[in-house]
Amino acid sequence: MSPASVAKKRGVPAFTLVEVMVASVIASMVGGAALLLAQTGRQVWGLTDARLASLTDAQRAIDRVSEDLRNAWQATLASAEAQLAFRQAPDCEDEDPTITYRYAAGRLTRQVDEEAPVTVASGLSAFSAAHLGNGLVRLRVTAQSNTQAGNATQTVETGVWVQNP
């Protein structure tokens, strides 16, 4: 007599081989779906994190340039392909400093007169400034992050009114 038939005679519930195999296949499918969901969630998290980082870099850069431009005095805007220069109001220590922003090799730097340039943001893929007239300057910064989850590109654009154009 087989163990299954003995178990049935005694009133002990038992599973057949087919039932066990079907349950194993279903459990494998549920486990695989959960694993796929977790992996996809991790990829989305990584891409979102990269987008947030690139957006933060772009926003930091545009905020710094905007702040300086808003404080510009008798702005003489010299805007080249990847450069923006203007003069600020004189303070007690310096007479009429010239501030220059330069974009090169993914970095935006800020230089005051002949001082050493300071990096404002890195990881940028583009920077542009356009003088639209009447003291309005359009700034556009694009930042890009490359991760295993993919590439994230964020562009931030703003218009800044120079106080004394």
Residue 142: inside a domain: yes
Predicted TM-score (pTM) of the model is: 0.68
Range of the domain at 121: 36-161
Is 133 within a domain? yes
d(CA 1, CA 17): 17
Tokens coding 159: 């218009």
Task: Out of 80-89, 125-134, 136-145, pick the least confident.
Answer: 80-89
Residue 117 bridge partners (DSSP):
none
What does the pLDDT look like over 23-71, one tens digit per residue? 999 999 999 999 999 999 988 888 888 788 878 888 888 999 998 888 8
The answer to whether the CB of 82 falls within 8 A of the CB of 103 is yes
| The pLDDT of residue 144 is above 90 | no
Structural domain includes residue 12? no
Q: How many domains is the chain built from?
A: 1
Say if 106 falls within a structural domain. yes
In a domain, 10, yes or no: no
